[in-house]
Chains A and B, each alone.
Chain A
């Protein structure tokens, strides 16, 4: 993280030291309000039983047990994991293919790039409504709707997210492909390598860093998905499973949200415990990524 620097001998840094309140103070105050304190309080409350925060009573791991026993939470986990993995593969393959074609010097490359990237700027809620109109426009001809079948919800969400994120991943891959040294490709050509051989033996090994970044991004994006999920299906359809109601297309983030704000019977402590589990999962993936990226930097 912070590299060791020579100790500051000059007057400027010695002077700057005393300016902490002005330079760092405002951010630090906001950071404590907006992140540090809510985070610490969130950890604490996940071990408490409460309706109002003032009345929180410490109960140990009870909330975690309840969270893990919750059928809807477990269903959301598997739905999310399946979605994250399928979307990861689909988006990365298509994004790489698009980037590969766009770096072949074909006519209209920059126009194609502009178009593919555009959906990435539209917010998740708006995307959800655009696609729910499109899917229902198709499905209503067969007398059904995206809200009727969990399969439609899954694949619908996948198409939506692919449409949104392919352009983004494509940009990262284009940067990677452009950094492949030309003389290497030239050498492969002179040696008589076919196009496929060049792609798999020269190009792909050289863009491994981009592939790593995009893999982790795809995975964490998949796990954290919320707006699109809420706006497209909102978790519908709902089925009964072992005496409790399960929203079949609900992902983890939405499940936590509904436990907090829509469930009358569950204490917010259980929702907070779910949130902590979710945090551990996502942070684990994120730290793995940082670690990986840093290792790569050392090698270069």
Chain B
């Protein structure tokens, strides 16, 4: 009898928790809803009627999107293309080269391996502000200041965390598998690409997602390194909507913000499991 009572009270407690969490969830998505609403609202009403639905004369249709695309004398599609290119190429370079280096560092036990590993761990605690001035000057001098070459800068600055994570994983792989490959006549190159790389897949996904999110959302590095009049990524583009003189068109800004978060949200919903795992794995970076 008593047990049945505690069971129903337990069930009631869980229902109440569920309801409370649902309400908090709805509040949680409100900022995104506000972006959607205001991207369809006539600019002058965004500030005065931020939380009203865009009805009647407030409704702007697609005009905010059209305006946003050409706002500030810089076409938005160009920013999207540069962002996509820089993010994809940087992530690819980081995954390929840091995993190779990490395998070498983990397997060849030399002083230089240790020194590089130490430097990588060290670089993880250095904030970007420490190197931003000298890094942007160095990148300028070496002509790394275009979207085609900036991935090299990302490879350099992002190497620390990636190598740290890959070395940790490689060490957990038993050496015997690689030895067997060697006995079968594989050289280091074939051993790495045919045997080691496939085993690295879970870490490749984790590191890949971390780097993808970092480069895609990064504002300061491309802002300092690239020639802003010619090349803008999406975060720079959005920052410049406000920075450009004259009053800010909030409706158009919200339209562009909506366009820029749609791909992120879709990507998130598609590979949620990997993203959460990857981001949690990067928690060590601090």
Contacts and interface: CB of A to CB of B under 8 A. Distances in A.
B76 to A, nearest CB: 14
A2 B130 contact: no
B235 A125 contact: yes
Contacts of A27: 97-98, 100-101, 155, 159, 163
B135 A120 contact: no
7 contacts: A2-B117, A24-B101, A26-B155, A106-B18, A114-B272, A130-B257, A172-B280
Given A140-B47, A217-B283, A23 B101 contact: yes
Interface string B107-140: 1111011101111110111111111111101110
Nearest to A140: B47
Given A125-B235, A126-B217, 15 more contacts: A17-B108, A17-B110, A19-B188, A19-B189, A23-B103, A31-B155, A33-B142, A106-B14, A107-B15, A125-B219, A126-B238, A126-B260, A171-B279, A171-B280, A279-B130
Interface of B: 14-15, 17-18, 21-22, 24-25, 28-29, 31-32, 34-35, 38, 46-48, 50-51, 97-98, 100-101, 103-105, 107-110, 112-114, 116-121, 123-135, 137-139, 142, 144, 152-157, 159-160, 163, 171, 178-179, 181-182, 187-189, 191-192, 213, 216-220, 235, 238-239, 242, 250, 253-254, 257, 260-261, 264-265, 268-269, 272, 275-276, 279-280, 283-284, 286
Interface string A273-284: 001101100110
Nearest to B191: A12
Contact of B124 (A28, A34, A133, A286): A286
Interface of A: 1-3, 5, 7-8, 10-13, 15-17, 19-20, 22-24, 26-28, 30-39, 41-42, 45, 53, 101-102, 104-108, 111-126, 129-131, 133-134, 136-138, 140, 163, 168, 171-172, 175, 213, 216-217, 220, 224, 226-227, 230-231, 252-253, 256-257, 260, 268, 271-272, 275-276, 278-279, 282-283, 285-287, 289-290, 293
A23 B104 contact: yes
Contact of A11 (B38, B97, B182, B239): B182
B109 A2 contact: yes
Contact of B51 (A1, A116, A137, A172): A137
Contact of A253 (B14, B50, B119, B129): B129
Contact of B219 (A120, A124, A217, A287): A124
Nearest to A102: B21
Contacts of A279: 126-127, 129-130
A108 B22 contact: yes
Contacts of B113: 2
B187 A15 contact: yes
A201 B264 CA distance: 41
A104 to B, nearest CB: 6
Contact of B119 (A36, A119, A137, A260): A36
A171 B254 CA distance: 29
A34 B153 contact: yes
Nearest to B20: A101
Q: Quick one: which of A140, A216, A279 has the most chain B CB within 10 A?
A: A279
Q: Secondary structure at chain B's binding surface: helix, strand, loop or mixed?
A: helix
B123 A122 contact: no
A35 B126 contact: yes
A10 B182 contact: yes
Given A115-B29, A131-B31, A278 B130 contact: yes
Contacts of B127: 224, 253, 278-279, 282-283
Q: Secondary structure at chain A's binding surface: helix, strand, loop or mixed?
A: helix
A134 to B, nearest CB: 6
Contacts of A20: 104, 108, 112
B61 to A, nearest CB: 20
Given A171-B279, A224-B127, A126 B261 contact: yes
A128 to B, nearest CB: 9
Contacts of B156: 30-35
Contact of A38 (B47, B131, B219): B131
Given A24-B116, A133-B46, A38 B138 contact: yes
A75 to B, nearest CB: 17
A122 B264 CA distance: 7
A172 B280 CA distance: 6
Q: Quick one: which of B118, B129, B132, B269 has the most chain A CB within 10 A?
A: B129
Contact of B264 (A38, A121, A283): A121
A192 B240 CA distance: 61
A39 B129 CA distance: 10
A171 B121 contact: no
A172 B156 CA distance: 28
Contact of B97 (A30, A171, A275): A30
Contacts of B142: 33
